[in-house]
């Protein structure tokens, strides 16, 4: 019998990835809502999206065997609602929100892994006395602020002075309701403790600055068993907060990776998250030999898909599909053609600009051919404003992603330079 798997926001790149998974010979993948509706936009009408998704599912003449996704908000928060209605496996809405609602998440971390989290407090960015209230919570400069629900690194700021805070507040007040209001709709569907319900979707978090070598532990929970299966290093550009590349496998010491896995099992079990994939972001402060838990994401990282395929032989979309179908994930290790793999981000550090030239399809193909197995995704089109790109951090724009594998780390960096020489982007009307 053919199994029907509905993928929210399925795009061509991920459709190709899904075809290469194990055990999908009898699976038909269906797009549920378009990428334009759930990703290539900054306006999220969740009730309308849910209504359209349900209409599609109700009209389908066949079995609905799984409903899955690989994106952050709003997809991640819609999945529990859809899966509950149609009886397919997924984490409960409340357990998902214990990860995605940053204040609730920090609160449950404080209950179970208190030695690995920073000082934190929630605040209302529309409160003119917010800065003094942050001080009353014993947070001093510098600290980070971010929305209680965001996507990627959007609207996250390091605050070193009152002027930094004023700048961030201006940005937050202008944009935070774009996610805050739809997130409030999701919160209204959940059974929340009173102290969490008081922290509305437009609220923000202030946190003590933490840092060190950053990484992500990818994992899943199947019938109550928490399984971390890989650690990916997150390497930033020098002196800035923007990511340069993701590297797999991690170069962190084994004892540190083992400890992170132990913390991961503890927190995910405490939350009660089950039958879904996740990843947990960490820092290792080498000087203090201290592990900090940054945040939990309730989906696999699609940026890491090709890294797992290049090193282990299969994308970790395997986890998403297997769990969606109610089976234990079939994730191999070390069966890929490369020893190491990375996703590099080609970034420009402008406030804004117009894209005046992008490489042609032929130029991209020639660039990829410089290193066997390289995959390139361009994120911009000629004539667009960089500020139109979704899910960007506060300091730069990622105009392209380059995935590649190699036999060793140093060779990866050399290969990246050879590919980038062939990718010619140009910009005008630059706002520094």
Q: What contacts 285, CB < 8 A, 6 or more positions away?
A: 210, 211, 212, 291, 292
The C-alpha atoms of residue 318 and residue 302 are separated, in whole angstroms, by 11
Q: How much is the mean pLDDT over the chain? A: 95
**Does the pTM exceed 0.85?**
yes
Task: State whether residue 432 is helix, strand or coil.
Answer: coil
Among 153-167, 234-248, 320-334, top mean pLDDT goes to 320-334
Question: Final residue of a domain: which of 208, 227, 249?
Answer: 208
Examine residue 288 and state whether it is found in any structural domain, yes or no.
no
* SS3 state at 301: coil
1 Cβ contact list (under 8 Å, min separation 6):
26, 63
Does residue 105 form part of some domain?
A: no
Q: Are residues 345 and 428 in the same domain?
A: yes
The larger pLDDT score, comparing residue 323 to residue 240, is at 323
pLDDT tens digits, residue range 83-123? 999 999 999 999 999 999 999 999 999 999 999 999 999 99
Rg (CA), the chain: 21
- Tell me: do 62 and 8 sit in the same domain: yes
Task: Examine residue 239 and state whether it is found in any structural domain, yes or no.
Answer: no
Q: How do residues 177-199 score in pLDDT, each as one tens digit?
A: 999 999 999 999 999 999 999 99
103: closest CA among 122, 77, 116, 90? Answer: 122
Do 426 and 356 fall into the same domain? yes
**Contact present, 328 and 316 (Cβ < 8 Å):** no
Per-residue pLDDT band at 373 (split at 50, 70, 90): very high
Enter the DSSP assignment of 388.
G
The answer to whether the beta carbons of residues 165 and 159 sit under 8 Å apart is yes
* Integer CA distances (angstroms), 218 to 261, 302, 349, 359, in order: 9, 11, 29, 33
pLDDT of residue 41: 74
Tell me whether residue 224 is in a domain: no
Q: Domain ends where: 177, 193, 208?
A: 208
The set of residues, in sequence order, having a beta carbon less than 8 Å from that of 320 and lying 6+ positions away, is 68, 69, 70, 277, 299, 300
Which of 157, 189, 208 finishes a domain? Answer: 208
At residue 274, what are phi and psi to the nearest 5 degrees? -155, 150
Q: Is residue 67 in some structural domain?
A: yes
Domain check: are 124 and 88 in the same one? no
On whether residue 317 sits in a domain, the answer given is no
Confidence class of residue 390 from pLDDT cuts 50, 70 and 90?
A: confident
Residue 382 domain-assigned?
A: yes
Q: Closest by alpha carbon to 79, among 163, 29, 7?
A: 7
Say which CATH number the domain at 204 has: 3.30.1490.20
- What is the predicted pLDDT for the residue at 306? 97
Q: Are residues 77 and 126 both part of a single domain?
A: no
User: Is the pLDDT assigned to residue 251 strictly greater than 80?
Assistant: yes
Mark out the alpha helices in 151-253 (DSSP H runs).
Answer: 162-175, 177-188, 194-197
Residues 6+ apart with CB under 8 A from 173: 125, 126
The pLDDT of residue 152 is 64
Mean pLDDT across the stretch 375-382? 96
Question: What are 369's two structure tokens?
Answer: 């051919």
pLDDT tens digits for range 314-348: 999 999 999 999 999 999 999 999 999 999 999 99
Helix 12-19 vs helix 317-324: crossing angle, to nearest 10: 80
Question: Before 249, cis peptide (omega within 30)?
Answer: yes
Same domain, 142 and 57: no
Torsion angle of alpha carbons 213, 125, 77, 327, nearest 10°?
20
List the structure tokens of 94. Answer: 């409340």
Q: Are residues 12 and 70 in the same domain?
A: yes
- Residues across the chain: 432
Q: Report which DSSP code applies to 238.
A: T
Residues 128, 44 within the same domain: no
Domain identity same for 83 and 129 = no
Supply the range of the domain harboring residue 385: 339-432
Helix (H) or strand (E) holding 158: strand 157-159
Same domain for 87 and 149?
Answer: no
Q: Are residues 45 and 125 in the same domain?
A: no
Domain count, the chain: 3
350 with 428, same domain: the answer is: yes
> Closest by alpha carbon to 279, among 257, 301, 262, 261?
301
Is 308 part of a structural domain of the chain? Answer: no
Q: Residue 403: give its domain's CATH number.
A: 3.90.1170
Shortest CA distance to 13 belongs to which of 88, 94, 71, 98? 71
């Amino acid at each position: 019998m053919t199994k029907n798997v509905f993928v929210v926001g399925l795009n061509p790149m991920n459709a190709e990835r899904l075809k290469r998974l194990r055990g999908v010979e009898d699976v038909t993948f269906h797009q549920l809502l378009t990428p334009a509706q759930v990703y290539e936009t900054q306006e999220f009408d969740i009730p309308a999206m849910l209504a359209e998704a349900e209409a599609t599912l109700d009209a389908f003449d066949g079995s609905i065997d799984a409903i899955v996704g690989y994106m952050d908000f709003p997809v991640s928060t819609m999945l529990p609602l859809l899966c509950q209605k149609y009886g397919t496996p997924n984490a409960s809405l409340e357990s998902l929100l214990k990860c995605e609602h940053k204040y609730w998440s920090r609160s449950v971390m404080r209950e179970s892994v208190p030695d690995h989290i920073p000082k934190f407090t929630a605040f209302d960015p529309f409160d003119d006395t917010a800065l003094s209230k942050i001080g009353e919570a014993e947070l001093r400069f510098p600290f980070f602020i971010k929305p209680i629900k965001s996507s990627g690194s959007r609207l996250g700021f390091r605050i070193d002075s009152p002027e930094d805070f004023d700048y961030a507040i201006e940005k937050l007040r202008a944009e935070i309701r774009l996610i805050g209001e739809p997130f409030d709709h999701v919160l209204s569907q959940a059974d929340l403790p009173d102290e969490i319900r008081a922290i509305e979707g437009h609220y923000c978090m202030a946190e003590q600055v933490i840092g060190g070598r950053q990484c992500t532990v990818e994992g899943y929970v199947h019938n109550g068993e928490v399984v971390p299966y890989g650690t990916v290093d997150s390497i930033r550009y020098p002196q800035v907060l923007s990511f340069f590349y993701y590297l797999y496998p991690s170069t962190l010491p084994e004892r540190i990776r083992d400890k992170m896995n132990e913390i991961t099992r503890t927190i995910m079990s405490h939350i009660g998250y089950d039958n879904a994939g996740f990843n947990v972001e960490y820092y290792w402060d080498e000087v203090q030999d201290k592990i900090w838990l940054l945040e939990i994401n309730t989906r696999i990282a699609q940026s890491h898909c090709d890294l797992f395929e290049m090193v282990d032989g299969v994308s970790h979309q395997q986890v998403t599909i297997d769990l969606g179908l109610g089976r234990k994930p079939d994730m191999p290790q070390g069966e890929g053609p490369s020893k190491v793999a990375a996703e590099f981000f080609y970034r420009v550090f402008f406030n804004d600009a117009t894209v005046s030239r992008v490489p042609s399809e032929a130029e991209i193909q020639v660039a990829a051919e410089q290193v066997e197995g390289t995959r390139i995704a361009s994120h911009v089109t000629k004539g667009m404003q960089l500020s139109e790109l979704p899910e960007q951090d506060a300091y730069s724009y990622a105009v392209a992603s380059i995935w590649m594998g190699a036999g060793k780390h140093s060779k990866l960096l050399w290969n990246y330079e050879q590919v980038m020489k062939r990718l010619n982007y140009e910009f005008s009307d630059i706002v520094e």
